[in-house]
Amino acid sequence: MNKIKVMVVDDSALMRKIISDMLNRQLDIEVIGIARNGQELLSKLETQHPDVITLDVEMPKMNGIEALKELKLRNINIPVIMLSSISKRGAELTMECLEAGAFDFIPKPSGSISLDIDKVLDDLTEKIRLAYNKKVLGKLNKNNEHKIVIKSFKKDKEFVENRPNHTKRIQAIVIGASTGGPRSLHTIIKSLPPKLGVPIIIVQHMPAGFTKAFAKRLNNNSNIEVVEAIDGDNIERDKIYIAPGGFHLEISKDKKISLNTDKTIWGVRPAVDKLFISASKVYGSNLMSIILTGMGKDGANGTVEVKKMGGYTISEDESTCIIYGMPKMAYATGMVDIALPLKDIPLHIVKSVMGVRR
């Protein structure tokens, strides 16, 4: 069996050992090298060739974000998973890392020195495998680029020609995303006009302690105000709400934010299905739902409910997904009106919302 080769980067010798030992116990993963900071990582990459890098966010000499930017400058295309402490600064730096190209991140359970890092072992190994598979698939896609473009064009053409017309006024937009979602959401939100005229409510799978920094970073790059949702908030036009980590977000009949800690769905909280299903009951045929990149099937049931109520449903096309899981499962329901590459979604939103006379 070819093992996934991993480089572990952390300024703590204890953390390097704990993480390495933990990963080496996996049958399909092997740690081939360690580094104390970004500078040492770059030096070691001259002779060592990992498939995936785990990278601490906060380090001396060269931290995670500086290392990521340098990897990009040197055109070193190795997927990187950030390990971040749950602190205000750690969360803010993590969001910057995701924007700079990190594949995903894992929170350290109890700060920089997390002796209980084994609590996130399953998440870490799962994301290492996803990152590796994405890297391998990316190489295959590059070798077959011409064939894939033709296939994608035919699929998109079929969607465009066969989708039903939706002439109802859109009153609200709900979006669900997971792995790769922060960058996709940034791409969409920064492209929207300041007076779109509808609220946007988002569930991005993200642990507690990080969604506030995520909302803040989106807000700094958006024409529309972006906030972390608060229980009881009135849902306002021209405002974007991010579900806080650790809470399901539902929309009440009187169009207010309702947060709860009901049991997880598909192993996550917040869950896209919770948002979509509740929104479909409130907005009916005046709702638009969008499923973006992510692993698993969260959002598929919600997409069905949105369509049953006459809403308009969109999924991100496979060609631009970091992980084609959630959009694939939504599409498989037969309830998706149109699949679009990421770059086409913002304009489609604007035309769908503003193109129908109020």
Give the start-end residues of each E strand in 71-185: 80-85, 104-108, 172-177
Confidence check: pLDDT of 173 > 80: yes
Where does the chain hold its CATH 3.40.50.180 domain(s)?
Answer: 165-354
What six digits make up the tokens of 273?
């299905």
The whole-angstrom separation of Cα 132 and Cα 116 is 25
Average pLDDT of every residue of the chain: 89
Interval 199-239: pLDDT, tens: 999 999 999 889 999 999 999 999 999 999 999 999 999 99
User: What CA–CA distance (Å, rounded) separates 49 from 222?
Assistant: 38
246 or 166, higher pLDDT? 246
Nearest to 299 by CA among 322, 283, 278, 275: 275
pLDDT digits (tens, 9 = 90+) for 337-352: 999 999 999 999 999 9
Position 140 scores a pLDDT of: 43
Burial of residue 182 (CB within 10 Å: 0-12, 13-18, 19+) is buried
CA 238 from chain centre, in angstroms, equals 22
Which among 152, 192, 153 has a CA at the least distance from the CA of 175?
192
Q: For residue 270, is the peptide bond before it cis, meaning its omega torsion is within 30 degrees of 0?
A: yes
- Reported as a single tens digit per residue, the pLDDT across 299-354 is 999 999 999 999 999 999 999 999 999 999 999 999 999 999 999 999 999 999 98
| Per-residue b or e along 65-87, where b marks 16 or more CB atoms closer than 10 Å to that residue's CB | bebbbebeeeeeebbbbbbbbbb
Averaged pLDDT for residues 98-121: 77
pLDDT exceeds cutoff 80 at 55: yes
Length of the chain: 358
Q: What integer pLDDT is reported at residue 149 of this predicted model?
A: 32
Task: Kindly report, residue by residue over 127-171, the tens digit of the pLDDT.
Answer: 999 999 987 655 444 444 333 332 333 344 443 333 445 667 999
Q: Which residues are catalytic?
A: 178, 205, 298
Q: So what's the pLDDT on residue 27?
A: 95
Q: Where in the chain is the domain with CATH 3.40.50.2300?
A: 4-142
When pLDDT is cut at 50, 70 and 90, the band that residue 111 belongs to is: low
In sequence order, what are the residues at sequence separation of 6 or more whose Cβ sits closer than 8 angstroms to the Cβ of residue 303?
276, 289, 291, 313, 315, 330, 333, 335, 336
Average pLDDT of 268-288?
Answer: 98
The percentage of the chain sitting over the pLDDT mark of 70, rounded to a whole number, equals: 88
Higher pLDDT, 116 or 22: 22
Fold of 4-142: Rossmann fold (3.40.50)
The Cα 200–Cα 202 span in angstroms is 7
- The matching CATH number, chosen from 3.65.10.10, 3.40.109.10, 3.50.50.60, 3.40.50.180, for 165-354 is 3.40.50.180
Walk across the sheet containing 287-291 and list its strands. 225-228, 239-242, 200-204, 172-177, 287-291, 312-316, 338-340
Give residue 168's pLDDT.
Answer: 79
**Is the Cβ–Cβ distance between 257 and 233 less than 8 Å?**
yes
Give 85's pLDDT tier (boundaries 50, 70, 90).
confident
